Amino acid sequence: MATWKTLTIQDSASPLMEQLMFFHDHTLMILLMITTLVSYIMMSLFINKFNYRYLLEGQMIELIWTILPAVTLIFIALPSLRLLYLLDEINNPLITIKTIGHQWYWSYEYTDFKNIEFDSYMIPMNEMNNTNFRLLDVDNRIAIPYKSQIRMLITAADVLHSWTIPSMSMKIDATPGRLNQINFFINRTGIY
């Protein structure tokens, strides 16, 4: 869960979120190298008063500043595409949870074993105590099994909604008349 005064990504609760964190660190390292290189070149141009007059029409320098950004984009695109396919991969789910977004609450249905249905309303501010998460806590929390594949089918009854758990890298839109699905695996217990 997000806490005050943190600028980092939340702790991961799924293998996909761990992969996204690795990709974030990988991309950030590439950006840091680019920033360092450009800063070094700019500082050396300001400090050094000598100019190389054939720099503007050199074939080698044009080849370098064309190929180097292309290679950099490939180093970013390949892990990104791998993650994109991993996010949409559907393995054999143990259970399926139907989620319906309403104007002020969410409805959940477990239909694999018994037909269990319940509504989940946000707790008003005047009824909260110190153990509740402000603007995030509900009266009936959804219970999801640990270390098993889960498929969630999501739709909306009235307007657009967005169902998300950031620490599991899950965010999916609930659209009226459309059934979206997301597959996830939880490898850490907790309240999210």
pLDDT at 113: 80
Give the range of the structural domain holding residue 79, as residue numbers without chain letter.
15-88
Mean pLDDT for the stretch of residues 151-171: 88
| Mean pLDDT over each residue of the chain, to the nearest integer | 85
| Boundary (domain end) residue, out of 42, 62, 88 | 88
* Number of domains the chain contains: 2
| Boundary (domain end) residue, out of 34, 60, 88 | 88
Q: Does the pTM exceed 0.75?
A: no
Residues 151 and 110 placed together within one structural domain of the fold: yes
Task: Extract the tokens encoding 157.
Answer: 């009854």
With 0-12 / 13-18 / 19 or more C-beta atoms within 10 angstroms meaning exposed / middle / buried, residue 166 is middle
**CATH code of 32's domain:** 1.10.287.90
Residue 7 in domain:
no
Residues 58 and 108 placed together within one structural domain of the fold: no
Residues 105 and 40 placed together within one structural domain of the fold: no
Mean pLDDT for the stretch of residues 4-10: 69
**CATH code of 151's domain:** 2.60.40.420
Residue 129 in domain:
yes
Residue 4 confidence class, pLDDT cut points 50, 70, 90: low
**Beta strands at 95-101 and 105-110: parallel, antiparallel or unpaired:** antiparallel
pLDDT in tens, 55-83: 667 788 788 889 999 999 999 999 999 98
pLDDT in tens, 78-130: 999 998 888 888 788 888 999 999 988 999 999 888 888 999 988 888 887 77
